[in-house]
Amino acid sequence: MSYLLEIESLDLEGRGVAHHNGKVVFVDGALPGELVRAQVTRQKTNYDRAKLLEVIRPSSQRVEPPCPSFGICGGCVMQHLEPAAQVAIKQRALEDAFTHIGKVKPKQMLAAMHGPYFGYRYRARFSARFVQKKGGMLVGFRERNSSYVMDMDQCLVVPAAVSDLLRPLRDMLGTLSRPDRIPQIELAVGDACMVLTLRHLEPLTDTDIQTLLQFGQTYQVSWWLQPKGPDSVHPLVPEDVDRLYYDLPDYDLRMPFKPTDFTQVNHQINRELIRRALRLLAIEPTDRVADLFCGLGNFSLPMARFAKEVVGIEGSTALTERATEAAARHDLDHKTQFSTLNLFEVDQSWLRELGYFDRVLIDPPRDGALAVAKAYSALSLQERPKRIVYVSCNPATLARDAGILVHVGGYELQAAGVINMFPHTGHIESIAVFEAGQTGPLKTTIEDDTTLMND
């Protein structure tokens, strides 16, 4: 069954949204403002899903996707939409989340941060599968809405050197003794090193190891192996253990990390994000600052260049140990302290034990910082930090926590904006600024904020 549809909007999975006979229809590949012919592929009680058959009236924002795998590969969902329009949709989604979930409205919307639209992804997890009838080993992202693995010859969102590696990587893996027992390859690119972590469900033979070593030498790849769970990850060559790092030149910092550590996928945007976060925090030399969900110190160490003291809290001991080591290496250990704690279970008594903070940065995972927001909202006005900067990877949980900070804690949501960390995807990174008992416009201006331009 097919019919004509007027596309009204776009959801964050890149699907056009229309209505037919009072029912919502999601159309893969359709854009707002378009008149399309679509065929229903799945019917649910509250909505239908449809595939695009024909664009009768195209959107002015439609572009030709540069990737030949677009539409099949699940890695990107918006390459057919002009990049500036992608950012506008994400900004609107953030505003809608504040309105409908948190019942709040920022006093100021910050200019969206954006960077290179391609070659930006320095972290990725490629699926691997041995399929004899398809010629052997497949390496790539999964197909959209499917468990099948894409047979990828190139990928435009990873660095060119990684994209060029996909075909020889596939061919090499197919020669190993048990290619059918290799489920994934994890990519981590540092400023001076590319690491591929091989998940293998069967022990490697001596011949397999020699094959990996030769491949690594030919293509300048450092191999790490994962025979079991995440704790089993180790370098194939022991000397490679400390080769991964990224630099933060604005703060004279080098940040070592392991392939399995959490780091931001987009290094260029990460540097800009740190600049904006510090500018919005407006740290004074006498300030005591908290960095909650601090990871390996991505924000903590830059903040320590300006603050009197920085306290970093994180749920992973491995990450706080890495942050402590990095602080000592940069002679910042006298201004920093890191500890491990489950921040999803904290309360105001714990906050009081930590002592007063002038500024707080919160950078939680997708689940947000519900317990932290409740704890700060329960403090008296004199106990609360003057300013909170919240970096989020999920607008829904940011909006929920913003509602608590504003309606329960009496904070004011001074500003918020989108960070396009993942171009061509529906992923929304954002930043928000809260002030305690502050009225009027945000005191720290952002006119000097800069955004990276697309290469």
> Residue 76: which residues within 8 A CB-CB, separation 6 or more?
67, 70, 157, 424, 425
Question: CA dihedral defined by 318, 319, 324, 329, rounded to 10 degrees?
Answer: 100
Longest dimension (CA), the chain: 69
342 annotated to a ligand binding site: yes
193 annotated to a ligand binding site: no
How far CA 223 is from CA of 51, 150, 282, 321, in Å, comes to 41, 23, 42, 23
> Residue 248: which residues within 8 A CB-CB, separation 6 or more?
254, 255, 271, 274, 301, 302
Q: 395-407 and 370-378 are packed helices; what angle lies between their axes, rounded to 10 degrees?
A: 10
193 is catalytic: no
155 annotated to a ligand binding site: yes
Q: Residue 65's closest CA among 138, 6, 121, 118?
A: 118
67 annotated to a ligand binding site: yes
> Residue 71: which residues within 8 A CB-CB, separation 6 or more?
28, 29, 65, 144
- Residue 437: which region, alpha, beta or left (left: phi > 0; alpha: psi -120 to 50)? left
Tokens encoding 169: 């990587």
Distance CA 171, CA 219 (A): 13
438 annotated to a ligand binding site: no
Distance CA 393, CA 266 (A): 13
298 annotated to a ligand binding site: yes
Name residue 271's amino acid: R
294 annotated to a ligand binding site: no
Distance CA 127, CA 130 (A): 10
Tokens encoding 400: 């929920």
Q: Which of 393, 399, 416, 421 is catalytic?
A: 393
145 annotated to a ligand binding site: no
Give the position of tokens 């004074």: 284
Tokens encoding 265: 């996928």
> Residue 409: which residues within 8 A CB-CB, separation 6 or more?
373, 376, 377, 378, 379, 384, 436
Tokens encoding 354: 């930590």
Is beta strand 108-109 parallel, antiparallel or unpaired with respect to 123-131?
A: unpaired
Distance CA 4, CA 97 (A): 30
Helical spans, DSSP H, in 17-109: 83-97
73 annotated to a ligand binding site: yes
454 annotated to a ligand binding site: no
**Residues designated catalytic:** 393
Which residues line the annotated binding site for S-adenosyl-L-methionine? 264, 293, 298, 314, 342, 363
- Known binding-site residues for [4Fe-4S] cluster equal 67, 73, 76, 155
Which residues are annotated binding-site positions? 67, 73, 76, 155, 264, 293, 298, 314, 342, 363
